[in-house]
A = this chain, B = another copy of it.
Amino acid sequence: MGKMNKAEELADRLHSTAINLLRQVRVQDAATGIAPARLSALSVLVFGGHISLNGLARAEQVRPPTMSRIVDALEAEALVRRRANEQDRRAVVIEATEKGAAILWLGRKRRVKFLAKHLSRLSDAERKQIANAVQAIQKAMMK
């Protein structure tokens, strides 16, 4: 398997574990009936409030044309709306509708419950380890 030092072995296992975890969670998200990129963008709007299209694209790490189309689709289902920005008439303000927020909350609840159910099979000590590790990973990956 090639020579890897301990940090590299950890990196490798961490990577596989993250892939696996998200793969399983994605199945839950499918139940919302909203495609993944749309759900993710909607989530930013619901938790972060209104934002410009470019801002939303940056938050989701995609290019503006990609986000423009995602917002088109969300708007067509009345999950978000575009508003004019009075200060800058080039810009649009995007915000979740009540319907969008409600659907997102249901999906989020389902996803979190799914994960929490799995985590509940662990001991308190193991959950504490995960909580610590999450903080450490965030520290390691930030900036």
Contact = CB atoms under 8 A, between A and B. Distances in A.
A21 interface: yes
Contacts of A137: 17, 21, 130
A78 to B, nearest CB: 22
Contact of A136 (B10, B19, B130, B136): B130
A99 to B, nearest CB: 17
Contact of A8 (B21, B105, B112, B133): B112
A8 B22 CA distance: 16
Contact of A116 (B10, B20, B115, B133): B10
A140 B112 contact: no
B129 A11 contact: no
A87 interface: no
B118 A17 contact: no
A126 interface: yes
Contact of A10 (B8, B19, B114, B131): B131
Contact of A115 (B11, B25, B105, B119): B11
Contact of A140 (B109, B118, B139): B118
Contacts of A120: 7
